[in-house]
A and B are shown apart, each in its own frame.
Chain A
C-alpha cells in the first residue's frame, strides 16, 4: 500500500483503531447475557408456575402457602385424572385426527389449487388468487352462525367428519397461498419440457411438482397441524359432547367457575406437549410459515 501518502496512511491507521471506539466487548457480552437470562426467567415464569401447580394436589394449593413445597408429588395423579375423568383421552384422539387428516387433506387440496394457479394459467388466475386470499381475511365469526345451521341440517353437527370438513376448508386458503408462491419460483421451462416429453398436466403435478415442493408442503402442513391442534372456537360452537370435541375446547370446558386447579394445570400440560414437540422439532418450517407474508406476490 502507498503508505507514503499521508492522507491514506491516516485513513489506514484510523480504520485499524476503529474497534477501540466500540465499547469493551467483554463488558458488553456480560451485560447482555445477564439481561438475556433475566428476561428469559421472567418470560418462562407463567409456564414454570403452571408446572409447579400441576405438581401439587389441589387441596394443598388452596389451603397451604404458595411457597410450601408439594407435600406429595401429585403430578401423575393430576395427569391421570385429566386423562380419564375429564375425557382428555377422547379429546386428544379427536384433535390428533383433525390435525393429521384435516391438515393433510387441506394441504393436498391446496397444492392442487396452488399448482393450477401458478402454472396452468386458468382463466382469471389473479381473480382466483385474490379469492383464496379473501377467505383468509374473513374472521371465523362470519362462518359460525351459518355453519351451525348447516351442520344441524346435514347431520354433521358434533360429528368427527363435520369437524374435519370445517378444518380442511379453513386451512386451504393459507396453504394454497404458500404453495402457489413456491410453485411460481420453479422455472416454467420445467413444465414445458415435461409437456414436450408427453406428460399430462396431472402427471406433471404428481410426479414433478409435488415431489419438488416438499419443503413448502412441510411448511404448510406443520403450520396447519399446529393451528388445528390449538383450535378452539369451532370446537366450542360445532360440538356438543366429548365424541367430537377437540382438545382446546375440552380444556376450556374443564375450566369452569371453580375448577380443580391442579387437574386443570395438568390438562393444560397435556395439550401443550404435542404442539411443543412439533414446534421444537420442526421449528425451521414453522418459522418459515410465519414469514410467508414477507414475500410479496
Chain B
C-alpha cells in the first residue's frame, strides 16, 4: 500500500455497530438501489493530518486512527460519525423536522382546535361552541363583503397581470438592452409589500398624489378623488398596486418561457409561411403553457391570502369595506380578540388555498403539450 501525500490510510478494525447490516439483512428488507458498503478502509484526504501518517508498518489490529497520539475532538468526531452512520438518515432529518413540527406543526393542530371554541386569548380555550365559528361567517355582513372582495381580487389578479406580463415580455424580448429593462421592470418585486403600499398611498394621496395631480393637469379635474377613501374604488386602486407587482413577476417568467421555445420550431413555422401572429398563436403560445401554469398558480396562491397591501393602504376600511379574508382574520383575532372566529377563517383560508391551487395545477399539468 502506497500512501498518497496528504492521504491518510486508516485500517479500520473496530467493529462498527450496524456495519454490514445490508450484507446480513434478509433480502426482503434490503432497500433497492442503495449500496451502503461497510466502511473498512478509509482514505481521508486531509492536509491537516499530514505529517503523522499511518503506514502499513503499524501492527495489524491496532486502532490506527490517524495521529493516534493526537487525542482530541477530531478523533472522537471521526469515530462518532461511523458509529452513528447506520442511522444517519434519521439524524440528518431530525433537526429540520423538529423545527418544522415545533414551530409550524403544533400551531396547525392548535389552530384547528381553537376554531371550535369561543376564546379571548387568555388561559386555555374551554368554551366549546361547535361549528358556530364557521357558520357565523355567512350571517356577518363584513365577512360576506370580505369573501366577495377576496373573490374579486382573485379573479382580477389571475387574469390581468399575466396578460400584461406577457405583453411586456413580448415587448422587451430580444431588444437591445433587454436585461436592463428586465431588471428595472422587475425591481418592485424585490421590495416589501409595505413599501409598495406606502408608495401607492403617496400616488393616491388626494392633495399631492401623482394620480390626482396628473388628472388635474390634463383637465380632468372632475376625476380627482380620495381614491382610498371610497368603497369599491379603493379595492380597484389597490388592485392596480398589486397588479403592478404581479405583472412584473409574470413578465420575468414569460421571458424565461420565450427563451425556452426551440428556435427551430419557430423557423420551421416561418418557412412554412406562417405570419408573425400565426407563429405566436400556434407555436409560441402552446409552448408557454407550463409557464402560464406557474404564473397563475403562484398568483392564485398569493392573492387568496393577500394581506400586507390592504393593511397598509386602507387598513380594511372605510367601515371594513375593503377587507379581504386575511385582513378580516387579523381584525377578528387581534383587534377584537375573537380568537375562535379568527382561527376558523384561517382554516377556511387554508382549505381554499390548498384546494384551488392543487386543482389548478393538476388540471393544467394534464393539459401540458409535449413536442
Interface residues of A (CB under 8 A from B): 15, 18, 21-23, 29, 32-33, 35-36, 39-40, 43-47, 49-50, 53, 61-62, 66-67, 109-110, 112-113, 115-117, 120-122, 128, 132, 135, 137-150, 165-166, 168-170, 172-173, 176, 188, 192, 195-203, 205, 226, 229-233, 236-237, 247-249, 251-252, 255, 261, 264-265, 268, 271-272, 275-276, 278-280, 283, 286-287, 290-291, 293-294, 296
Residues of B within 8 A of A276 (CB): 187, 190-191
- Inter-subunit contact A120/B92 (CB<8 Å): yes
Q: Point out the residue from A33, A115, A139, A279 that lies within 8 Å of B346, measured CB to CB.
A: A139
With contacts A147-B107, A169-B99, A291-B256 known, is A252 near B81, CB below 8 A? no
Q: Point out the residue from A165, A176, A226, A272 that lies within 8 Å of B195, measured CB to CB.
A: A272
B63: CB under 8 A from chain A?
Answer: no
Q: Given the complex of chains A and B, what is the CA–CA distance between A21 and B270 in angstroms?
A: 10
Residues in B319-345 with C-beta less than 8 Å from chain A: 326, 329-330, 333-334, 339, 342-343, 345
Interface residues of B (CB under 8 A from A): 12, 31, 33-37, 39-43, 81-82, 85, 88-93, 95-97, 99-100, 102-104, 106-108, 110-111, 114, 121, 168, 171-172, 175, 181, 183-188, 190-195, 197-203, 205, 207-208, 210, 213, 244, 249, 252-253, 256, 270-271, 275-276, 290-291, 294, 297-298, 301, 304-305, 307-308, 311-312, 326, 329-330, 333-334, 339, 342-343, 345-347, 349-350, 353-354, 357, 365
Residues of A within 8 A of B35 (CB): 192, 195-196
- Inter-subunit contact B89/A230 (CB<8 Å): no
With contacts A62-B208, A66-B213 known, is A135 near B305, CB below 8 A? no
Q: Point out the residue from A113, A248, A278 that lies within 8 Å of B96, measured CB to CB.
A: A113
Q: Least Cβ distance of B24 to chain A in Å?
A: 17
Q: Least Cβ distance of A10 to chain B in Å?
A: 13
With contacts A18-B271, A201-B89, A290-B253 known, is A49 near B210, CB below 8 A? yes
Q: Point out the residue from A40, A138, A261 that lies within 8 Å of B205, measured CB to CB.
A: A261
With contacts A150-B106, A226-B190 known, is A116 near B205, CB below 8 A? no
Residues of B within 8 A of A272 (CB): 191-192, 195
Residues of A within 8 A of B330 (CB): 141, 144, 237
Residues of A within 8 A of B39 (CB): 198-200
Residues of A within 8 A of B346 (CB): 139, 141-142, 144-145
Q: Given the complex of chains A and B, what is the CA–CA distance between A117 and B191 in angstroms?
A: 33
Residues of A within 8 A of B291 (CB): 294
- Inter-subunit contact A66/B171 (CB<8 Å): no
Q: Given the complex of chains A and B, what is the CA–CA distance between A232 and B41 in angstroms?
A: 53
10 A–B contacts, CB within 8 A, in A order: A36-B171, A43-B184, A66-B213, A147-B107, A149-B110, A169-B103, A230-B195, A232-B192, A232-B311, A268-B198
Residues of A within 8 A of B312 (CB): 252, 255
Residues of B within 8 A of A148 (CB): 121, 334
Residues of B within 8 A of A290 (CB): 249, 252-253
Interface-centre pick from A23, A264, A268 (highest chain B CB count, 10 A):
A268
Q: Point out the residue from A50, A128, A145 that lies within 8 Å of B202, measured CB to CB.
A: A50
Closest 4 CB pairs between A and B? A230-B192, A279-B190, A169-B103, A146-B107
Smallest Cβ-Cβ distance to B164: which chain A residue: A39
Residues of B within 8 A of A32 (CB): 171, 175
- Inter-subunit contact B99/A172 (CB<8 Å): yes
Q: Least Cβ distance of A268 to chain B in Å?
A: 5
With contacts A145-B346, A146-B111, A165-B99 known, is A47 near B199, CB below 8 A? yes
Smallest Cβ-Cβ distance to A279: which chain B residue: B190
- Inter-subunit contact B34/A121 (CB<8 Å): yes
- Inter-subunit contact A287/B256 (CB<8 Å): yes
Residues of A within 8 A of B168 (CB): 39
- Inter-subunit contact A128/B93 (CB<8 Å): yes
Q: Given the complex of chains A and B, what is the CA–CA distance between A176 and B36 in angstroms?
A: 24
Q: Given the complex of chains A and B, what is the CA–CA distance between A36 and B176 in angstroms?
A: 11
Q: Point out the residue from A35, A39, A47, A293 that lies within 8 Å of B297, measured CB to CB.
A: A293
Q: Least Cβ distance of A59 to chain B in Å?
A: 12
Q: Point out the residue from A143, A144, A248, A294 that lies within 8 Å of B294, measured CB to CB.
A: A294
- Inter-subunit contact A141/B96 (CB<8 Å): no
Residues of A within 8 A of B106 (CB): 146, 150
Q: Given the complex of chains A and B, what is the CA–CA distance between A201 and B84 in angstroms?
A: 9
Smallest Cβ-Cβ distance to A52: which chain B residue: B210
Q: Point out the residue from A36, A109, A195 that lies within 8 Å of B181, measured CB to CB.
A: A36
Residues of A within 8 A of B183 (CB): 280, 283
- Inter-subunit contact B114/A110 (CB<8 Å): no
Residues of B within 8 A of A255 (CB): 198, 201, 312
Q: Least Cβ distance of B186 to chain A in Å?
A: 8
Residues of B within 8 A of A280 (CB): 183, 187
Name 9 extra pairs, CB < 8 A, besides A145-B339, A172-B99, A231-B192: A39-B168, A53-B202, A116-B92, A141-B307, A141-B349, A199-B39, A201-B88, A233-B308, A264-B202
